[in-house]
Structure 1
Amino acid sequence: MHIAPLSPEDPTELGGYELLGRIGHGGMGQVYLGESPGGEPAAVKVIKPSVVDSETRQRFAQEVEILKTVWGARVAALLDADAEADPPWLATEYVEGLDLSRHVGSHGPLPALLTASLGATLAEALATVHKQGLLHRDLKPANVLLGPNGPKIIDFGLAVFAESSVSLTSPNTVVGTPSCMPPEQANGERPLTPAVDVYALGAVLLFAASGHLPYRADNIHVLFHQVVDATIAPDLSGVPEELVPLLTAMLAHRAQDRPALDDVVRQCRALIEAQGLKVAQARRKLTSYTAAPAHLLDELLAVPRAGTSSKVPSEAATAPADAPPARQGPAVPAPSSQQPLVPPPAAPGRPDRMSADTPAAPSTDRTGQAAARGAVPEQAAARTAARSKDRGDAGRRSLRHSAQARITAQRLREAYAASTPF
């Protein structure tokens, strides 16, 4: 997740949360990275003063009340809110990681196995929300965060009660993201049903597997026409063959032709098990594949030590200010998405010859023996110095590289442990 610095016009504190940077914005407000007095990170959403009026406050208060009822392991939780404050704000759980849109844009589409795992996870999460009598209504790649403990759904600002025809918006107003919107929502039909989220999830999985959405057009009116025209099929180009039947069903034009979320979970499980894995194993693979390599929050909060450079590489993890000092040696970059999280094991029977944990072999050189006894003649010392000039630099470099390798391995193990959800 990109974190931008605060501008001079931004507040530095809201509701006890210290604001540290910007992590998103929209037409109605700004989202900040905040920190509670106890050090808990949070995403703090604030309504812009320029758009605050009685109607906006009412809608914001409704959003807060809805978020209070939404729960689940795959949903970013509401932490606190004040719809009567000036400006109104709410704080939700901060998920450290890229959203699906940014991840696919940076790293390309997910393999079929990981897309199926993402589908099972998100379908189960949405089913839990639907059991609470709610619909998301605006599920899209940008609203799926790929955190260190797996994907989470955010932004229930457009959520409405499934059994009600009352919307948070004015009658006959279409609100949402057209590229992920089912035909009935684009046509302004009421009431909406859980099938709208099934369609949107299909669009999200299509994007995850192929890098594009069901319909694409530069003009929004053309895009709406494509969505509502039953004769124009969604674009499934680039989708792995095994995913085509499921995505075709989820993106069906008629709501009644789409599968239920429980059926989506079952079909995703079948795809995973057909490749010889259990669902939990596939989810761990998904998390390992998508988790951000750099600890962005630590990077933002890091305080440079005296005598060190204040520059922080964009792809490097930075230790917290209160972390114990590392062993002597050059700085080691954090593992990137292109590097394995765990270094490959050494070949059997070939220990690191320069490991500091391995005692050096005793020298058979008489001069060396004399040196050990502390009685080196001047000529022997000269010969020893000459040999050291030829070999010492190489030996010191090897020892230094061995120490760096141990530090690297330890940090990689720590990074792996921090990003593994088990």
Structure 2
Amino acid sequence: MHIAPLSPHDPAELGGFELLGRIGQGGMGQVYLGESPGGEPAAIKVIKPSVVDSETRQRFAQEVEILKTIWGARIAALLDADAEADPPWLATEYIEGPDLSRHVARHGPLPSLLTASLGATLAEALATVHKQGLLHRDLKPANVLLGPNGPKIIDFGLAVFAESSVSLTAPNTVVGTPSCMPPEQARGDRPLTPAADVYALGAVMLFAVSGHLPYQAANINVLFHQVTDPDTAPDLSDVPEDLVPLLTAMLAHRAGDRPALAEVVRRCRSLIEAQGVKVAQARRRLTTHTAAPASEREVLLPTVLAPAPPAAPAGLPDTEPYAPPVATLVLPHEAPEPTPTRVDRPAQGPGSRAATPPAAPAAPASPAPDPDTDAVPEQAATPAPARSRSGQRLHSAQARITAQRLREVYAATASF
């Protein structure tokens, strides 16, 4: 993922988080890579001042309150937020890894075994969300981050409490990603049920194994017609034979015909075991397959410039060169932060006006590295926290890496 330098108009700090660079943006907001005073990396989502109004604040505050209630090993955690600030912001854990859409675009579709593992993992995560009385409502490839410890779901900006008919959406408007939403959501039906997330998970699994979504069209009205037409079947081309029955059921037009999430997990597990692999082994293979190779990490995050070598110990002969101990720096990978797409529901009937196509999703959000990426030889003593001459805290290793990379990007593009 590309981290752009901060612009002169960007804040240097929000809510105590130091901002290090830009990692994504959309029509509604900007996402920054930040760092807490204690060195915890975070994805900082900020609403653009130009779109801040009472409805936007209310929707953003709802997202914050929902994130406070969500827990789970496969859910990007909320770190802090202030919906009343100017501008409103929230911070979530930063996940090292690409989103599913970028991984497939770069490396191609996943094998059926790994797709089944992905489906089982995400189905369990969604089941945890549903137990807390919530629906995600915008699950899509860009909202699945492939981190070093497995996939995680991000961006609950459109989440609502299950069975709730309350909506901040304007009449005749649909909010979400049309190519991944179920027919009932595309029609604007209320209330939605957990079956809506089952459909979206089926679309994500279809994309993972084939590289395409259930429906595709250049015109938004045509796309909505395909999704809502019971006679237009989803495109299951290039899907391995063993996954066709499951994806057909998950993408059923009627919500009542789709399997429950527990059934999705069971059928994914059967597909994995039919290939002579245990579920835990399949998950490890998925993580290994989607992790960035070491050589790629070195390109994405160059090493920090080495400090001046220490003086040779007293008593060492001048003729013998002195080589100080070397600390190995383990470099992380990064992931973008997505932004949900809001589109107007196409008007029905003759003479209707075409809705504005949804903007392409911004590189997400949602992102969180492991807490410590410096591997130091055991014999090395732990140094005291470094401070600048002015007494301010110096950056952690992650911040130094990012700052150095931003300086190199600027140097490479500068005209002098």
**RMSD over aligned Cα atoms:** 2.6
Alignment of 1:384-399 (within 5 A): none
Alignment of 1:214-293 (within 5 A): 214-293=214-293
Contact in 2 for aligned 1:187/1:228 (Cα 8 Å): yes
Deviation, 1:136, is 0.3
Give deviations 1:357-388, integer Å, cap 9, x for gaps.
Answer: xxxxxxxxxxxxxxxxxxxxxxxxxxxxxxxx
Deviation, 1:2, is 3.0
Contact in 1 for aligned 2:57/2:84 (Cα 8 Å): yes
For the residues of structure 1 that align with 2:325 and 2:44, how far apart are their CA atoms?
A: 31
For the residues of structure 2 that align with 1:335 and 1:324, how far apart are their CA atoms?
A: 22
Contact in 1 for aligned 2:55/2:168 (Cα 8 Å): no
Give deviations 1:245-269, integer Å, cap 9, x for gaps.
Answer: 0000000000000000000000000
Secondary structure of 1:196 counterpart: helix
The answer to whether 1:304 aligns with 2:331 is no
For the residues of structure 2 that align with 1:151 and 1:335, how far apart are their CA atoms?
A: 16
Give deviations 1:262-314, integer Å, cap 9, x for gaps.
Answer: 00000000000111111111000000000122586996595323589xxxxxx
Aligned partner of 1:109: which letter?
Answer: P
Deviation, 1:21, is 1.3
Contact in 1 for aligned 2:172/2:188 (Cα 8 Å): yes
Contact in 2 for aligned 1:147/1:292 (Cα 8 Å): no
Alignment of 1:345-356 (within 5 A): none
Deviation, 1:23, is 1.3
Deviation, 1:60, is 0.9
Give deviations 1:31-87, integer Å, cap 9, x for gaps.
Answer: 111111111110100000111122211111111001101111000000000011111
For the residues of structure 2 that align with 1:121 and 1:226, how far apart are their CA atoms?
A: 29
Aligned to 1:143: 143
Deviation, 1:170, is 2.5
> For residues 333 and 79 of structure 1, do their structure 2 counterparts lie closer, same or farther at Cα, with a shift above 3 Å needed?
closer
Aligned partner of 2:133: which letter?
Answer: G
> For residues 102 and 269 of structure 1, do their structure 2 counterparts lie closer, same or farther at Cα, with a shift above 3 Å needed?
same
Alignment of 1:85-100 (within 5 A): 85-100=85-100
Contact in 1 for aligned 2:214/2:235 (Cα 8 Å): yes
Contact in 1 for aligned 2:96/2:332 (Cα 8 Å): no
Secondary structure of 1:24 counterpart: strand
The answer to whether 1:190 aligns with 2:190 is yes
Contact in 1 for aligned 2:99/2:146 (Cα 8 Å): yes
Secondary structure of 1:87 counterpart: coil
Contact in 1 for aligned 2:116/2:272 (Cα 8 Å): yes
Secondary structure of 1:59 counterpart: helix
Aligned residues: 320
**Bigger RCO (CA 8 Å, 6+ sep):** 2
Aligned to 1:26: 26
> For residues 288 and 219 of structure 1, do their structure 2 counterparts lie closer, same or farther at Cα, with a shift above 3 Å needed?
same
Contact in 2 for aligned 1:115/1:205 (Cα 8 Å): yes
Aligned partner of 2:255: which letter?
Answer: A
> For residues 297 and 61 of structure 1, do their structure 2 counterparts lie closer, same or farther at Cα, with a shift above 3 Å needed?
farther
Secondary structure of 2:196 counterpart: helix
The answer to whether 1:126 aligns with 2:121 is no
Aligned to 1:362: none
For the residues of structure 1 that align with 2:132 and 2:298, how far apart are their CA atoms?
A: 32
The answer for unaligned runs of 5 or more in structure 1 is 309-322, 337-409, 412-422
Contact in 2 for aligned 1:12/1:18 (Cα 8 Å): yes
For the residues of structure 1 that align with 2:135 and 2:302, how far apart are their CA atoms?
A: 36
Aligned to 1:101: 101
For the residues of structure 1 that align with 2:274 and 2:143, how far apart are their CA atoms?
A: 29
For the residues of structure 1 that align with 2:298 and 2:144, how far apart are their CA atoms?
A: 19
Contact in 1 for aligned 2:301/2:331 (Cα 8 Å): no
Aligned partner of 2:169: which letter?
Answer: T
Secondary structure of 1:9 counterpart: coil
Secondary structure of 1:286 counterpart: helix
> For residues 240 and 335 of structure 1, do their structure 2 counterparts lie closer, same or farther at Cα, with a shift above 3 Å needed?
farther
The answer to whether 1:164 aligns with 2:164 is yes
Aligned partner of 2:33: which letter?
Answer: L
For the residues of structure 2 that align with 1:45 and 1:302, how far apart are their CA atoms?
A: 27
Aligned to 2:154: 154
Deviation, 1:168, is 3.2
For the residues of structure 1 that align with 2:332 and 2:39, how far apart are their CA atoms?
A: 26
What percentage of residue pairs aligned between the two structures are identical?
A: 82
> For residues 238 and 158 of structure 1, do their structure 2 counterparts lie closer, same or farther at Cα, with a shift above 3 Å needed?
same
Aligned to 1:359: none
Alignment of 1:52-131 (within 5 A): 52-131=52-131
Secondary structure of 1:174 counterpart: strand
For the residues of structure 1 that align with 2:177 and 2:100, how far apart are their CA atoms?
A: 15
Contact in 1 for aligned 2:210/2:239 (Cα 8 Å): yes
> For residues 271 and 236 of structure 1, do their structure 2 counterparts lie closer, same or farther at Cα, with a shift above 3 Å needed?
same
Secondary structure of 1:91 counterpart: strand
Contact in 2 for aligned 1:160/1:168 (Cα 8 Å): no
Deviation, 1:215, is 0.6
For the residues of structure 1 that align with 2:32 and 2:297, how far apart are their CA atoms?
A: 14
Question: Which structure shows the higher helix fraction?
Answer: 1
The answer for unaligned runs of 5 or more in structure 2 is 310-323, 334-374, 377-416
Contact in 2 for aligned 1:293/1:334 (Cα 8 Å): no
For the residues of structure 1 that align with 2:115 and 2:133, how far apart are their CA atoms?
A: 27
Aligned partner of 2:181: which letter?
Answer: M
Contact in 1 for aligned 2:123/2:201 (Cα 8 Å): yes
For the residues of structure 1 that align with 2:19 and 2:301, how far apart are their CA atoms?
A: 12
Aligned partner of 1:245: which letter?
Answer: P
TM-score (norm 2): 0.73
Contact in 1 for aligned 2:297/2:332 (Cα 8 Å): no
Aligned partner of 1:303: which letter?
Answer: V
Contact in 2 for aligned 1:96/1:297 (Cα 8 Å): no
Deviation, 1:20, is 1.0
Aligned partner of 2:305: which letter?
Answer: P
Deviation, 1:204, is 0.3
